[in-house]
Amino acid sequence: MAKKVVATLQSGVGRTFTKCIRMVRSPKTGSYAFEEQVVHNDHIDDFFKR
């Protein structure tokens, strides 16, 4: 059996959001860092275009 938290995410509301991860280059050091954000499915393209 799934835990209650996982089971509630599978209902209608939880499926409309996606966790997006992208690599961002630091202007000071030149190294890469990861930016994570939970985004509504309608705004995924906007997140990656920024």
Domain assignment present for 2: no
Domain assignment present for 27: yes
In the prediction, which pLDDT does 14 show? 65
The whole model's pTM is what?
0.61
Per the structure block, which two tokens stand in for 27? 């202007």
Domain that includes residue 30, residue range = 16-49
Domain assignment present for 5: no
Count up the domains in the chain and report the number: 1
Domain assignment present for 9: no
Task: Give the separation between CA 37 and CA 48, rounded to whole angstroms.
Answer: 11
Task: Give the separation between CA 21 and CA 1, rounded to whole angstroms.
Answer: 29
Domain assignment present for 3: no
Each residue's pLDDT tens digit, 1-50: 455 565 555 566 667 889 999 999 999 999 999 999 999 999 999 999 97
Beta pairing partners, 7: none
